[in-house]
Amino acid sequence: MPLSLEKLTAIAPDQVERYETARVSLSKHRLLGERAAVYLVLDRSGSMRPFYQDGTVQRLAEQALGLAAHFDDDGVVPTVFFSTEVHTTADVVLGAHRGRIAELHDSLGHMGKTYYAKAMRAVIAHHRASGAKAPAFVIFQTDGAPKDRGETGRLLAESARLPIFWQFVGFGDDEFAFLRRLDDLPGRAVDNAGFFAAGPTPKSLPDATLYDALMTEFPTWLTTARTAGIL
């Protein structure tokens, strides 16, 4: 069941408007009533520093919480920080979300280079260990292509038989040629990934625009994954 508006208002009144915006988008895409475990994967490569400093990443986490409140009832978004390695997996929780990204980011030290596959494996392991019966909807944020392109492609193809959907989100003015190719990667059991570019100033992107972009390919995946026996 989704988190009730009454409970959300009590624990996180600053999220009410975002919650309602997410509801409108989910209704538009015929997703109200669907269950999913929402994950957030955050790029901590050196070029991401400005997006942490100006609150852009914190805003994305809050947007993820607004979505998660409809897909699940625990108000928790497991969050993976990655660069060269996986820095940590930590929960962002409704009611304790204010300043949470800066708190975690500041505790993690050196910002490295961009490697996707280890972060993807961390999500897969966490979802398996959680015992969740609902699929995972993964918001995977980055500002550029990874150093491990081959491994990333192989892992995306392998994970197509898992109940996990990867929604890649590009920050910045990169052309994201790799992610566009990844979005159309051939040879998968089902199309288990989506991509959209949030642009050079993603903090200014309205919640409604973000939610509509996040939900563009997820409904089709749910249908094809059920047909294929993955869900």
Q: Which of 1-5, 38-42, 157-161 has the lowest mean pLDDT?
A: 1-5
Whether the Cβ atoms of residue 219 and residue 31 lie closer than 8 Å to each other? yes
Please report whether residue 7 resides in a domain. no
Tell me the pLDDT tens digit for each residue of 113-122. Answer: 999 999 999 9
Please report whether residue 29 resides in a domain. yes
Please report whether residue 190 resides in a domain. yes
Q: Supply the range of the domain harboring residue 198.
A: 15-145+152-226
In sequence order, which residues have a C-beta less than 8 Å from that of residue 145 and are 6 or more positions away? 114, 174, 176, 177, 178, 179
Q: What is the CATH number of the domain that holds 42?
A: 3.40.50.410
Domain total of the chain: 1
- H helix runs in 46-170, sequence order: 49-53, 56-71, 100-106, 117-130, 149-158
- H helix runs in 184-217, sequence order: 207-214
Average pLDDT over residues 96-118: 95
Tell me the pLDDT tens digit for each residue of 27-83. Answer: 999 999 999 999 999 999 999 999 999 999 999 999 999 999 999 888 899 999 999
Residue 100 has pLDDT above 90, yes or no: yes
Please report whether residue 105 resides in a domain. yes
